[in-house]
A and B are shown apart, each in its own frame.
Chain A
Amino acid sequence: MDLITVTRKEGLAFDVRVRGHRLTCDMSEKDGGRDEGPSPAEMLAGSLGACVAMMVQRYCDNHGYTDGDVCASLTLELADNPKRIGGIVIDLELPNDFPEDRKSAVKRLAELCPIHETLKHLPKVDLEIT
């Protein structure tokens, strides 16, 4: 696993770097940031969407369903006490030639992607002040 570093850019904006890639994470202006990038919560949802989409796209490619691409639309449902993401809603679009009778199978496949599994089986987060 490559090292991921998160360093301050300005204000509440932080750069997330790994393997030479850089993503800026920020809060919206309404929430005190400068909106230079997605919020951490949006990145989490985006990560799930990307993982689901990659897994299903690979399935479609391997089975020759090539009339269009996989596309995921997501949104968050928020919860309080403690403040958190209470739910993630995903609409997954499939290639036009994807057969109707395979949709329930691909839904089960999507639910087995590593990020989805991670959210179902919560990892231990080991944080130390160094």
Chain B
Amino acid sequence: MAIAELGGKQIEIDEDGFIQDPNAWDEEVAKSLAGTEGVAELTEDHWKVVNYLREYYLEFNMAPMIRKLCKTTGFKLKEIYDLFPSGPAKGACKVAGLPKPTGCV
């Protein structure tokens, strides 16, 4: 595990840059993580996705299915990718401070 400076804090990350302790996350950390995923600025739409992912994770200890993310936020799949070019799992979940999604196909 490596240590990265995110949002002014020293935070442990895995080899793909996902933070290891969800409690270390805050909005400044999210902004730093967004930069690593090709998102220059977190807009209101980005926060809608990030906040939903985070709320879901904190309640259920897992990320929501992608269809549920789309339906709850009102964004089409393509719109989620427009917001997070690396996708809902590797992009949005990382920015939301969730653990790395399962597998690699």
Contact = CB atoms under 8 A, between A and B. Distances in A.
Interface of A: 31, 39, 41, 73-80, 83-87, 89-91
B77 A91 contact: yes
B1 interface: no
Contacts of A75: 66, 77, 81, 87-88
- Judged by DSSP, the binding face of B is helix
Contacts of B65: 77, 87
A78 B102 contact: yes
B86 to A, nearest CB: 10
Given A73-B76, A73-B77, A73-B78, A78 B87 contact: no
5 contacts: A41-B105, A75-B81, A89-B67, A91-B70, A91-B77
Given A87-B65, A89-B66, A89-B67, A79 B102 contact: yes
Interface of B: 65-67, 70, 76-78, 81, 87-89, 101-105
Query: Nearest 7 A-B pairs (CB), nearest first?
Result: A78-B103, A41-B105, A91-B77, A73-B78, A89-B66, A73-B77, A80-B103
Residue among A31, A41, A84, A91 facing the most chain B CB atoms (10 A cut-off): A91
Contacts of A91: 70, 76-78
Nearest to A76: B105
Contacts of A76: 105
A75 B78 CA distance: 9
Nearest to A85: B105
A86 B103 CA distance: 10
A84 B105 contact: yes
Contacts of B77: 73-75, 89-91
Given A39-B105, A41-B105, A83-B105, A77 B78 contact: no
Contacts of B88: 75
Contacts of B101: 78
A100 B89 CA distance: 31
Nearest to A42: B105
